[in-house]
Structure 1
Amino acid sequence: MNATNSPLGKPLDRVDGMLKVTGQARYAGEFPEKGLLHGSVVSSTIACGRVLSIDISKALAVPGVVAVIDHTNRPKIASYDEDYEDADSAEGSPFRPLYNDRVLYSGQPLALVVADTLELARHAGSLVKIEYETDDHQTHLQSVKDDAHEAPAETPKPRGNFQAEYVGAAVSVDAHYTTPNEHHNPMEPHASTVMYQADGSLEIHDKTQGPQNCQDYLHNVFGLEKDKIRVLAAFVGGAFGSGLRPQYQLPLAVMASLKLKRSVRVTLTRQQMFTFGYRPSTLQRLRLGAAANGKLVAIGHDVIGQTSRFEDFTEHVVEWSGMLYQCDNVQLGYKLAPLDVYTPLDMRAPGATSGMVGLECAMDELAIALGVDPVQLRIVNFAERNGNEDKPYSSKELKACYEQGAERFGWSNRNPEPRSMRAGRQLVGWGMAGGVWEAMQMPASAKASMDASGKLTVSSATTDIGTGTYTVMTQIAADAAGVMPEDVTFVLGDSSLPTAPLQGGSFTVSSVGTAVQQACRALRAKLLDAVRMAHPEFAVADMEEVGFGDGYLHIRDQRFSFGDIVRDSSHEVLEVQIDSKPDEKREAYSTATHSAVFVEVHVDEDLGNIRVNRVVSAVAGGRVVNPKTAGSQILGGVVWGISQALLEESHTDHTLGRVMNHSLAEYHIPVNADIGEIEVIFVEENDTIVNDLGSKGVGEIGIVGVASAIANAIYHATGKRVREFPITLDKVL
C-alpha cells in the first residue's frame, strides 16, 4: 500500500469501540454458563502467624452452599511440593494459595466458599470462623531499611570514580526522596470463569495480560496437559501490570472446578484488589555533582525497595540515572527489604515511575543551586550514548522534546524566582522533567489468512488491555497486506493462537506488530505465487511490476482481487504463520523512548490546595501507528502521574499490618474535576533499527517524569521542596 493511502499514522477509531460502549464486550467475570457456581474468598485478618482451626460448619449449613475449600481439604496439587514459575515471576518461591497453615500477609486467601450464587457465597464466607496463632510482623519499610540486602537484579556496574568527583564538584546536591506503595485499581476487578468440560478439559476466561502465561502456569501447577487448558481474554478492563502474573483467583477457581467437576467463577472484591501485587514503596538517595558550567561530573543513586518474605521482587529503579544524562562517574545501588506483605508487582512503567522521581527532582534542585534554567541544564548534559551499555541510541529526539514542549508551553516566559508568579490568591508554579523508557522487542508469532471474499483474518495470542491493540494491529495488517482496514479482523486473547509475549513494557506493537507485518507480507507473496500459477505469462514478472493495494494485486496492466485469487487457487483460504524475532542489528544499539513534561500548578496561598492547571507532554516514540490511541495512552499516563504526585498512596496500619484505605472511596485517585488541560505532542522520530515498523511503543512513557515535573512546579510556586510523595497540602503548609 503506498504511503498516501496507508492506514499507518492515521487516527483510526477503535475497531472494538462499538462493542465496548454498547456492552457487547464480555469480560472475564461476565460469561454465562448453565449451573455455574460462584466462589468467594475468605481472607486472613492477621499479617503473620498460623491457622489453628477453620470452622466451616455454619457456612456449610447455608442452603445453596456446595463446598468450602481450605488447606486441609483442597485437592492434591503435585507442584505445591516443587518450585514453579510464571513468565513474570520474581526470584524466590511463588505464593501458593491454600498451601498450608502459614499466614504470610494480611488479606491472604485462607478459604474459598463455593455456592449457587455470589451473594450466598459471600454471606457464607462471613460465617467461616478462623482461629490464629499470631506471630510478630513487620510491614514498615523505614523500620527495616538497615536490614536490606542487595537485589538479585543486575544493577549497572560503577563507572569512573564517583566518590572523588562528587567530593570535588563545584556544586552538589544530596537529597532523600520517598515514594509510597500504590495498588492496582483497574476498572475491571480480577476474575476467572472456569468452564468445566465433559472430557475434564477447562475453558477459562481470565483477566490476564497473557493467556499463554496462565496456560503455562496451570500446566505447571496442576499438572494438566496444555491441550486440556484453553485460556481466553478477549477484553480486559485495564490491567497496568496487575495481569502480568496469574493472580490467586485463577488457581482457586481451577482448584474448585477440578474438585467439584463443575464450572466455577471467582471474582475478587474491590477490597481484595489490595491483597496482591502493587507498586512498592522506595527510599531514595540522590547525589549529583556538577562543574560550574552545569556539566554533571558525578551521579549517585541508591534505592531501598520493599519485597515479600518469600520472593525478591526487583525492578529497574536506578538504571535510568546511569543512562539519561552524560556522566563519566556513576554509582548505582539497589537493595531490598523483606516485609510481611505480598510480593510487589510491575505497575505502569515499573521502576522508572519511582526512580525518575528521585533523579528529575534532584536535577531541578541542581539547576537551582547552579542558577541555570532546568531545561538548559538537561540540554547541557544530553547523552548521545547509553552510558550503562556504552552503546549509541538507535534514535533519540529528546532535544526536540525539550524544544517543542517548551515552545508550546511558553516556558521562555517563566520567572525563575520561586513565589514570583501569581494569579490572584494562587501561587503559580512552572516545572518540568524528562522521561525515558526502554524500547524493547520480544519474539512473537502471527497467522494471516485470506478467504474467497477478500477478507483478511490475522491472529496472535496477545491481549488488548485497553491500549488499542485490536485497532493498531488492524492498521498494521491492512498496510502490510494491501487491504482496507474494514476488511481486516484481528483475533487475540486466546491461548490456542500463535505465540505472543505478555502485553506489557510497551513492546506489544514492536513485537506482535512486527509478526503481523511479516505474516501479511508473506501472505502477499503467497497471493502472487497463486497468480503466477494460474497465469503463466506472469511467471517471470519483476517485483517492480507488482503492487498491492485496496484488496487487489496489480501486475503490469492487470489487476486481480484477492478474493478472486483465493477462489482460483482451489483453496478455501490462503494462510501463512510467521515466527518473528528481534533483528540482530538492534544488538549494537540502545533503544529507548523519551519525553519532556512541562507543568503549571496553582497553589492556594492560604489553604495549600494544589491544582495542576495544564500539562504539555512531548514524546519521541518512533513511528506512531495510531495518534488517537497513542495520544490516549499519554493522556492516561499524565493523569496517573498527577495521581502519583498529589493523591495516590496505600496507607498501612503497621500495628495490624493491613492496608486501611482499601476502597475507591478512600484510595484517592483523580476525578475529572482534578484534571486541567493536557496537550500531547508526538515529536517526529525516524528509527530504522528498532524494528521494521520503526515503532517504540508509548504505553509506559506517559507517566514517567510527570510526578517530578509537578513536584518541581510546586517548589517554583511556593519555595518549599517536598521530597515525600504524594505531595499533600499538609506537607506544603
Structure 2
Amino acid sequence: MSEKIIGAAKPRIDGPLKLTGRAKYSSDNNLDGMVHAYGVFSTIARGEITNIDTRVAKQSPGVIDIFHHNHFPALYHTPSSMAQENKVDEVRLPFEDNHVYYAGQFVALVVADTFENARAAAYKVKVDYRESPAIANLDQAVERGGTQMHEKANHTRGNPEQAYQDAAHTIDATYVTPVETHNPMEMHATVAAWNDGRLTMYDTTQGVVNARNVFAKVFGLAPDRVEVLTPFLGSGFGGKLWPWPHAIAAAAAAREVGRPVQLVVPRQEMFTTTGHRPETRQRLRLGTDEDGRLVSVRHETISTTSTVDQVGTYVESCGKMTQGLYTCDNLSVTHATTRANRGTPTSMRAPGAAPGMFALESAMDEMAHQLGMDPLEFRRRNYADTDESKGLPWSSNHIRDAYDQAADRFGWDQRNPKIGSMRDGNEIIGWGMASCNWEALRRACDARVSLRADGTAFASCATQDIGTGTYTIVAQAVSDVTGVPLDKIEVELGDSSYPSGPISGGSWATATTLPAIAEAGRKAIEVLKTYAAMESGSFPDAKPEDLSYEDGQLSNGAGKSMPFAEVLKARQLASADGEAHTEGAPTDTYAFRSFGAHFVEVRWDPGISNLRVTRVVSAIDVGRAINELTSRNQVEGAIVMGIGMARFEQTEYDHRDARPVNNNYAEYLVPVHADQPEIDVILLDYPDFKFNEFGARGIGEIGITGLPAAVANAVHHATGKRIRDLPITMDKLMDS
C-alpha cells in the first residue's frame, strides 16, 4: 500500500470545502449574540498616554463598552516558554500600562453591536500623549542604545581571526535586509466566547495547543477549561505562531460584556502589532587557501528587536545555517540585537536562514568571483561531510546530487562567466545560483485513529493545516497503515481538545505528526484483532497475534478473511480506536538538515531599466516527499516569496518618528502573477529513515533560503553591480 499512497501526487482532501466556501475560517464564526471589537491604535511610536477621552465615542450608536489601561480587567502573565508550550510574541499584556512602545500599538478597544459601529466609535476616541524621541531603524538603535550580544545563539570553533589573516584570498562585506511583514491573505482574527467559566476561541493561530495554554495562563484557568479551534487558516508565514495582544483583549472583553466578541485586526495594523521579520545588518568575512577551500568564516549579525520587553528578546539567528553548511575548521557566528520603537519581531518563513543565507550565499559568490572559479565548483569544493558545528554525522545529505541535477536541468554548463556577456536582443541575461538549507526538526506528538463500522477511518490531532496540505498527508498516512482509501478517511485537525500536536511552523508538522498517526493506526488494528479474537468475535478460535491485517482485511492464515467493518459489525461495535504518542528525533546521534540548490535567470533591459526574474530551477533534498503535488506547491510558493524578498518587500518607516509609511497592500510590494517566472522544482527522493519511519523531513521553509542570493548573484552576472542591501530596486541598478 505504501508505494501507492506515500509519495503520490494526491489533490487536497479539503479542497472541495475551500472551493465551495464551506470551510470556516476564524472570522466566519458568527455566534449567537456576538458583538464586535475594533482597536484604537497609537499614533506615536514612543511616549506615554496622558489622557483617553471616550465621552463622544460612548455616545455613538451601538457602543457597549470601551476598554483601555484605566478600564480593563486584571490578567496574568504567561512564562512564555516554547518548551512548555505557552509562548507569546509580545509579552506585555494588552492595556497593561500607559506606555507606548511603537506606532500602531493597541491603546483602547471599542466593543459595539456591529463592526461598522465599533470602527466608527474607535475613530472618535481621543488620546493625548506625552511623546518622546523614537528610535526608527537599526542605525539609530545602534547609535543610541548599542547592541546586546546573545551567546546562546553564537558558535565558534578553531581560530577564525588568525586563519583569516593567514588566508590566501579574503573578502569582507556587509549585507543588509529590511523589515518584512508577513501579510497573509487572512487577517489576524479572534472570536471569543465564555460559557460557565469556559473559554472558547476561534483564533487565527498556527498552534492551537500553545494558544490554549497561553489563554489558560492569562485568565488563570485549567487548560481543559479552554478550547482553541482553527480548522482552517488563511496562511500565517510565522506571524500566527504565537498569540498577540488582540486575541487576549478579545477574550477579556467578551468576559466583561458577557457576549461573544469578534475582533479582526485591520491590514494597516498587521504591520505594527502582529510581528515582522526584523531588519538585519550582517558582516561576512571569508578566507580561502589558494585552491579555494575555506579556511576562515566569520558571520556577524545585528538585528532589530522591540523595546516592549527587555527579557524576551527576539533574535534573528542569521548564522545558524552558516555553522554547518560548508566545511571550515575556523568559524565564528555571532548574533546581537538592538532595540527600536517597532512592534515585537517574530518568526517569518525560514527565520534567520532567509536573511542569513542571502548574506552567506552572496559572499560565497563574491569569493568565487575573486578566485576566478565557477560558483558551483566553489561550493562543491567546500562540501561538509559532517555537521562540524555539532560534531555529528548527517542523517542524510545529498546536496551534491541537488547541485548536479539542478545545474543539468538549468543548463549551467552553458554559462559565460564574463559580466554582461549573455544577451538576447535588448536584454542582458544573468545566471546565478545558491545553496539552500534548513534544519530538520521533529517533536513529540499524540494522535488518534479509529477504524469505524461503516468502513471508514477517522484521524485526529491537535495540529492544524495552515494551507500546506496537512489534512491530505495525514489521510495518506492513515491509508498507508490501514489500507482504507482516501475518500473514506475523515481527518479532523485544529482543535486543542484533540490529542496534543505540534505547531505548524519550523517545517516540523509533517515529520512530527505522521509517525504518531501511523502508530495510532497500528494500535487501532491491534484493538481490532483483540475484538475479533474474543469469544463472540469473528475469529473466536484465534489469538490476536495470530491474525494478520492487510488492505482493510483481517485474516487468520487459514483462508478466512474479513473486512474490518464486518468484524466490528459482528460485535455491534462502532469502532476500534488507537491512540499513540511518539517522541522527537535522536538529535544526539545525527545532525538533521535539508539541502538544496537554486539556479536563477534574470533579464535586465538597461534601456528601460527593467529587471525580470525569468527562470528558476531548484533541486530540493528533503527526504521523501509524502505528497508530490503539495510538496512541489510548497517549494514553488517559497520561491515566489524569495523573489519578493529579493526584489520587492520592505516595510518602510519614517526616520523621524518611526511610523510605518507603506503599511498597506497598495504600497507594500509583493510578487504578482506578472512577476511569476518559469519554475522547475526537482524533488530528490532519498528517504531519511533515521529521522522517521516515513523518511520525510519538512519542506515549508527551505525553498526561500538562498533564493534572494541566487537572484542577487544573477543580477551581478548581468549588470556587474553587487547589490548587498535588499530589495534589489531599479535605482540600485541604474548608472549614476
Question: TM-score interval w.r.t. the shorter chain?
Answer: over 0.9
| SS of 1:41 mapped into structure 2 | strand
* Equivalent residue number for residue 66 of structure 2: 68
- 1:582 corresponds to: 584
CA contact (8 A) 2:69 2:95 kept: yes
Q: Residue 503 of structure 1 aligns with which residue?
A: 504
2-structure distance, mates of 1:632, 1:712: 25
Aligned to 1:175: 173
Q: Specify whether residues 156 and 374 from structure 1 end up closer, same or farther in structure 2 by C-alpha distance, changes over 3 A only.
A: same
1:301-353 deviation digits (Å, cap 9, x = unpaired): 00001111213102331121120001101011110101122110000010000
Structure 1 residue 213 and structure 2 residue 218: aligned? no
- Preserved CA contact (<8 Å) 1:231 1:495: yes
Mapped contact 2:441–2:585 kept (Cα < 8 A): no
Alignment partner of 1:136: what SS? coil
Equivalent residues in 2 for 1:556-595 (5 A)?
556=557, 557-584=559-586, 586-595=587-596
Partner Cα distance (2:567, 2:128) in 1: 71
The CA RMSD measured in Å over matched residues stands at: 1.7
Contact conserved, 1:151 with 1:312, CA < 8 A, in 2?
no
Aligned residue pairs total 724
CA shift digits 1:362-387 (9 cap, x unpaired): 00001111111111111110001111
Quote the residue 1:320 is aligned against: 321
Work out whether residues 202 and 229 of structure 1, in 8 Å CA contact, stay in contact via their aligned partners in 2: yes
Q: C-alpha offsets along residues 517-547 of structure 1, whole Å, 9 cap, x if unaligned?
A: 111111122222323333244328657xx34
Give me the whole-angstrom Cα distance separating, in 1, the residues matched to 2:74 and 2:721: 59
With over 3 angstroms needed to count, the CA separation of the structure-2 counterparts of 1:378 and 1:590, relative to structure 1, is: same
Structure-1 residue corresponding to 2:337: 336
**AA aligned opposite 1:378:** R
Aligned residues of 1:88 and 1:245 also touching (Cα < 8 A): no
1:92 offset after TM fit, Å? Answer: 10
Give deviations 1:96-121, integer Å, cap 9, x for gaps.
Answer: 11111111111100011111110111
Structure 1 equivalent of residue 224 of structure 2: 227
Q: Which moved more, 1:474-483 or 1:397-406?
A: 474-483
Change (3 A) 1:32 1:518: same
Q: Is the CA contact (8 Å cut-off) linking 2:520 and 2:579 kept in structure 1?
A: yes
Residues in 1 aligned to 2:336 and 2:343: alpha-carbon distance in whole angstroms = 17
Cα separation, 2, equivalents of 1:616 and 1:349: 19
1:408-557 matches, cutoff 5 A = 408-533=409-534, 534=537, 535-539=539-543, 546-549=548-551, 551-556=552-557, 557=559
What amino acid maps onto 2:26 in structure 1? A
For 1:279 and 1:364, locate their aligned partners in 2 and report how far apart those are by CA, in whole Å. Answer: 25
Residue 54 of structure 2 is matched in structure 1 by: 56
The answer for the alignment partner of 2:197 in structure 1 is: 200
Give, in whole Å, the separation in 1 of the partners of 2:725 and 2:74: 47
Q: 1:12 aligns with which of 10, 13, 35?
A: 10
Helix, strand or coil at the partner of 1:121 = helix
1:349 and 1:704 in contact (8 A); partners too: yes
Q: How does 1:297-308 map to 2 (within 5 A)?
A: 297-308=295-306
- In the alignment, what sits opposite 2:128? 131
Amino acid in the other structure paired with 2:458: T
Between the aligned partners of 2:87 and 2:472, the Cα distance in structure 1 is 32
For residues 653 and 397 of structure 2, what CA distance do their matches in structure 1 show? 41
Following the alignment from structure 1 to structure 2, what is the Cα–Cα distance between the partners of residues 374 and 542?
Answer: 60
Query: CA, structure 1 residues 541+125, in 2 after alignment: closer, same or farther (shift >3 Å)?
Result: closer
Alpha-carbon distance change, 93 to 470 in structure 1, aligned in 2, over 3 angstroms: closer
Q: Deviations over 1:640-683 (max 9, x none)?
A: 00000000000011212111100000000010001110111001
Choose from 286, 289, 306 the match for 1:288: 286
Which residue of structure 2 lines up, in the alignment, with residue 256 of structure 1?
A: 253
Question: How far apart, in 2, do the equivalents of 1:397 and 1:83 lie?
Answer: 40
Write the deviation string for residues 601-651 of structure 1: whole angstroms up to 9, x where unpaired: 001112332100010010000010001001000000000000000000000
3-state SS of paired residue (1:183): coil
Q: CA deviation at 1:564?
A: 1.1
- After superposition, the C-alpha distances for 1:159-195 in whole angstroms (9 at most, x for unaligned) are 1111111111111111110000001100000000113
Q: Is the CA contact 1:83–1:93 (under 8 Å) kept in the aligned structure 2?
A: no
Counterparts of 1:676 and 1:157, CA distance in 2 = 37
Is residue 89–residue 243 contact of structure 2 (8 Å, CA) maintained in 1? no
Bigger Cα displacement from structure 2, 701-710 vs 529-538 = 529-538
Alignment-derived partner of residue 39 in structure 2: 41
1:266 is aligned to 263
User: Counterparts of 1:249 and 1:109 in 2: how far apart (Å)?
Assistant: 8
What are the equivalent positions in structure 2 for 1:106-145 lying under 5 Å apart? 106-145=103-142
Question: Residues of 1 paired with 2:555 and 2:440: CA distance?
Answer: 36
Distance in structure 2 (CA, Å) of the matches to 1:93 and 1:196: 24
Counterparts in 2 of 1:228 and 1:536: CA distance versus 1, 3 Å: closer
Aligned equivalents of 1:409, 1:93: Cα separation in 2: 44
- Rate the CA distance shift 1:302–1:69 in 2: closer, same or farther, 3 A: same
1-structure distance, mates of 2:187, 2:151: 30
**SS at the partner of 1:659?**
coil
Question: Cα–Cα, structure 1 residues 212 and 255, in superposed 2: closer, same or farther, change >3 Å?
Answer: same
1:679 aligns to 2:653 (yes or no): no
**Other structure's SS at 2:704 match:** coil
Take 2:572 and 2:544, find their aligned partners in 1: how far apart are those partners? 22
Shift of 1:129: 0.3
- Aligned to 1:23, the other structure's residue is in SS state coil
Deviations 1:55-96 (A, max 9, x none): 11111101211111111111222x15x855566788998121
Is the contact made by 1:307 and 1:338 (CA closer than 8 Å) also made in structure 2? Answer: yes
TM-score scaled to structure 1, two decimals? 0.96
Deviation at 1:202, TM superposition (A): 2.2
Query: Which amino acid in the other structure matches residue 621 of structure 2?
Result: A
Does the C-alpha gap of structure 1 residues 117 and 540 become closer, same or farther in structure 2, counting only changes over 3 Å? closer
Q: Which runs of 5+ in 2 are unaligned?
A: none
For residue 358 of structure 1, what is the aligned residue in structure 2?
359
1:558 Cα deviation after fit:
2.3
> Structure 1 residues 84, 687: closer, same or farther in 2, change over 3 A?
closer
For 1:506 and 1:493, locate their aligned partners in 2 and report how far apart those are by CA, in whole Å. 17
Relative distance call for 1:481 and 1:91 in structure 2 (3 A) is closer
In 2, Cα distance between the equivalents of 1:88 and 1:554? 43
Q: Distance in 2 between matches of 1:480 and 1:603?
A: 52
Q: Is the Cα contact below 8 Å between 1:90 and 1:314 reproduced in 2?
A: no
Contact 1:153 1:314 in 2 (8 A): no
Cα separation, 1, equivalents of 2:727 and 2:687 = 37
For residue 281 of structure 1, report the CA deviation from its aligned partner.
0.8
Residues 372-405 of structure 1, C-alpha deviations (whole Å, 9 max, x = no match): 1111111110001111101110000100100000
- Tell whether the 8 Å contact from 1:153 to 1:315 is kept in structure 2 after alignment: no
Task: Return 5+ residue gaps in structure 1 as ranges.
Answer: none
Partner of 2:355, secondary structure, is helix
TM normalised by structure 2 equals 0.96
Distance 2:382 2:80 in 1: 45
Residue 722 of structure 1: how far off its partner (Å): 0.8
State the secondary structure of the residue aligned to 1:613. Answer: strand
Q: Any conservation in 2 of the 1:299–1:322 contact (CA below 8 Å)?
A: no
